[in-house]
Structure 1
Amino acid sequence: MIKITCKTTHEGSEIVADLLYDYSRSGVVVEDAGDLAELWNSTLVWDYVEESVLNRPKEVTVIAYYDGDYSEISEELQSRIELLKKECPFVCPLHLTVSEVKQEDWTENWKKFYKIIEVGDLQVVPVWKKEEATGEKVVLINPGSAFGTGEHESTRLCLSLMRELDLSGKNVIDTGCGSGILGIAALRSGAKQCLFRDIDESALNNLRENLALNQMDAKVECASLLEGITEEADVVFANITADILSKMKNAGEVVKKGGYLVMSGIIDKYELPLLELYQNMGFRLIKRETDGIWVGLLMQKA
């Protein structure tokens, strides 16, 4: 497999990508910090972006992978590159480099990046590692496009705070459920039933697969936050982001008196306004845990 790399400009990225696309059956990769900068300065609400991403070099990298003998296309490609420089000077400097890379089966190799996550007596286990599971409470997960494999700090914070609760016989809600890891862990910990909610249908498909892996059945809804819920719950789990959590205005009505709310996905600089908001809804802080910049909150309805 031949890796073809072109260094160009933000303005020239599309035309260079179009050129390299002619030589790649798998498409092209464009690494352009300018795209993110445009989004960052737009009206979109961003909860968190790594500073290192924003500080990437302004030079744009366009990458294509050619599956064949590079000598068959080298002369033609170089000729097209020189013509492009001449006719479209805004693409310059347009440096071209070529290297050979080992071809790998990424349909399987991505699995090696996932490992068993342990939080107390709970283990979150990728399904292909189920034979390695040794915990008292095992949650099997087939990581898909949905958020929630136990790898992220906010998920681990929620799982850790869950250990503070006796979930036996409790009715719980996992909103913004993603893969369903929190609700499945709650059911594994003795919860009577769990309502799973997410606005992303693809996430819910992944959730249903994970419920089946754990031989569980539960109510699943494609819906936002706690909207339209009329029955009270003993515990609500919400691992989303601070700006979305601030919109969960009816949490005080859904969580029953003496019940609990477990929240994460909160960056430390957004914690205090969110805490004040929920205190005004009638919640009191029971426990706070942190992992780097991430904060997890366990609150009780007074």
Structure 2
Amino acid sequence: MPWLQLKIDSSAEQAEQIGNMLSANGAQAVTFVDAKDTPMYEPKPGEVMLWPDTQVVGLFDASDDMPSIINNLQKAKVLGKDFNYRLEPLEDKDWEREWMENFHPMQFGSRLWICPSWREVPDPDAVNVMLDPGLAFGTGTHPTTALCLKWLDGIDVEDKVVVDFGCGSGILALAALKLGAKKVIGIDIDPQALQASMENASRNNVADRLKVYLPDDQPSLKADIVMANILSGPLIELQDTITDYCKKGGSLVLSGILAEQIAKIEAAYAKDITLDPSVIEGEWARVSGIKI
């Protein structure tokens, strides 16, 4: 199906109102795009953060009556008769198939491979995690996940109890299980993430060793290894909770951290963790250590 994109430059204050107007006029989807390459790293849970110069993009069916839609928008006070817009065709593609074709097997460390569930594994003798992310975060392509996977590949996971705090697609939990972990507890605020984790666990024949929970239902336990690949704000706010999952002498790894945020994370965790040297990949970082 061919599509049209209606692009309107806006301010952060007006963007949501314009987005609602586009939806009311038949837009199939509305997205907010940074119009001037302004960094915006960390919205809090439930918070919508927009750039000072925000572009609002409405996606319309090419058969829609765009002159009538634009005329409707011109009548709105927030835009006015002479508002600037661009109407552009969007290439008709099977976007899901295109994404699938560009998700390739990836190696992390010496033993571990993350493989799309629809592709052949390149090394049958390796530790292969078969992954279909679904709607949850985590394919291994983002540096934060890659940093954690490389760390996991480099430690002894055999027969360990592991907590994956913010499990997303379950990629870190599955990697730990395929590397020999006895049991993994996955925790996430998103029910779709828990569903994706369990589906991927079944795909990898390790569902019997993975248990997933929403934060309010999470059990009390002490784990040998605790992983939290989220964002620096929640890492700091939830420091006591995350650290408390780790038993004395256990290992802890944190990611989702920008390089310039390392000092804050280390300051928050140093009272409970003997810290390893932090590792940086691009603009992202990993912090790890041993529970005191």
Distance in 2, matches of 1:242 and 1:226, equals: 23
Of the three residues 250, 255, 264, the one matched with 2:255 is 264
Counterpart residue type for residue 122 of structure 1: L
Distance in 1, matches of 2:113 and 2:261, equals: 30
Which residue matches 2:6?
5
Counterpart residue type for residue 103 of structure 1: D
The reply on whether 1:180 has 2:175 as its aligned counterpart is no
Deviates more, 1:152-161 or 1:253-262: 253-262
Q: Is the 8 A contact 1:116 1:124 kept in 2?
A: yes
- Secondary structure at 1:280 match in 2: coil
Aligned residues with identical type, % of pairs: 27
Of the three residues 85, 101, 112, the one matched with 1:112 is 101
Q: Is the 8 A contact 1:196 1:219 kept in 2?
A: yes
- Secondary structure at 1:109 match in 2: helix
Provide closer, same or farther for how the CA distance between residues 54 and 135 of structure 1 changes in structure 2, counting only shifts above 3 A. Answer: farther
Provide closer, same or farther for how the CA distance between residues 13 and 300 of structure 1 changes in structure 2, counting only shifts above 3 A. Answer: same
Alpha-carbon offset, residue 222 of structure 1: 2.0
The reply on whether 1:91 has 2:92 as its aligned counterpart is no
Counterpart residue type for residue 51 of structure 2: L
Which residue matches 1:29?
30
TM-score normalised according to structure 1 size: 0.77
Which residue matches 1:286?
276
- Secondary structure at 1:199 match in 2: coil
Which residue matches 1:254?
245
Alpha-carbon offset, residue 4 of structure 1: 5.3
Provide closer, same or farther for how the CA distance between residues 96 and 181 of structure 1 changes in structure 2, counting only shifts above 3 A. Answer: closer
Q: Is the 8 A contact 1:9 1:92 kept in 2?
A: no
Of the three residues 50, 54, 57, the one matched with 2:51 is 54
Question: 1 or 2, which has the higher helix percentage?
Answer: 1
Which structure has the larger Rg? 1
Listed as ranges, the matches of 1:156-235 within 5 Å are 156-216=146-206, 217-224=208-215, 228-229=219-220, 231-235=221-225
Provide closer, same or farther for how the CA distance between residues 219 and 97 of structure 1 changes in structure 2, counting only shifts above 3 A. Answer: closer
The reply on whether 1:275 has 2:270 as its aligned counterpart is no
Q: Is the 8 A contact 1:173 1:237 kept in 2?
A: yes
Provide closer, same or farther for how the CA distance between residues 226 and 13 of structure 1 changes in structure 2, counting only shifts above 3 A. Answer: closer
Q: Is the 8 A contact 2:187 2:218 kept in 1?
A: no
Alpha-carbon offset, residue 175 of structure 1: 1.4
Deviates more, 1:170-179 or 1:80-89: 80-89
Work out the number of aligned pairs and report it: 278
Question: Gaps spanning 5+ residues in structure 2: where?
Answer: none
Of the three residues 58, 63, 66, the one matched with 2:58 is 63
Q: Is the 8 A contact 1:179 1:203 kept in 2?
A: yes
Q: Is the 8 A contact 2:19 2:56 kept in 1?
A: no
Q: Is the 8 A contact 1:7 1:93 kept in 2?
A: no
Q: Is the 8 A contact 1:158 1:264 kept in 2?
A: yes
Q: Deviations over 1:3-58 (max 9, x none)?
A: 2535465657257515741xx6xx14354659xx9xx7xxx648xx99xx837x55
Provide closer, same or farther for how the CA distance between residues 130 and 242 of structure 1 changes in structure 2, counting only shifts above 3 A. Answer: same
Distance in 2, matches of 1:299 and 1:4, equals: 48
Runs of 4 or more, structure 1, over 6 Å off, are none
Counterpart residue type for residue 226 of structure 2: V
Which residue matches 2:92?
103
Provide closer, same or farther for how the CA distance between residues 18 and 295 of structure 1 changes in structure 2, counting only shifts above 3 A. Answer: closer
TM-score normalised according to structure 2 size: 0.79
